[in-house]
Amino acid sequence: MQALADLTGLHIHVSHFPPGTSKWNKIEHRMFSFITLNWRGRPLVSYETIVHLIGNTKTRTGLKIKAKLTRRKYPKGIKIPNSEMAKLNLVPADFHGDWNYSLLPRGN
């Protein structure tokens, strides 16, 4: 994201939701209520079934959801060296700067 901020000149604000708080994410909340309605009463017997039901979720107001299954494994516990973190033009937010911050373009 730092490279994107540098390239575009944009200030990129990042907000992370703590684990277990996705209910506060308004986008997720809106999406999952309709997904749940769409797959109600249908047996979720495979990943393919689940992805198909999610991907066919639509509303009368125009919400369309796309879904794709990936079996990629993501490594856990990756540590970014302090030397790399020091290169970021990262500005913590006033409220929970450990979860919310901005990446500003670096001067070249």
Residue 103 has what pLDDT?
Answer: 96
Q: pLDDT above 90 covers what percent of the chain?
A: 58
What are the E-state strand segments in the chain? 12-15, 90-92, 100-103
Orientation angle between helical segments 47-55 and 26-39, nearest 10 degrees: 110
Instruction: Give the number of other Cβ atoms within 10 Å of residue 57's Cβ.
Output: 19
Question: Rounded to two decimals, what is the model's pTM?
Answer: 0.56
Determine the 3-state secondary structure of 101 from DSSP: strand
What is the Cα–Cα distance from 108 to 106, expressed in whole angstroms?
A: 6
Task: Indicate the pLDDT class of residue 104, thresholds 50, 70 and 90.
Answer: very high
Query: How do residues 30-46 score in pLDDT, each as one tens digit?
Result: 788 888 888 889 999 99
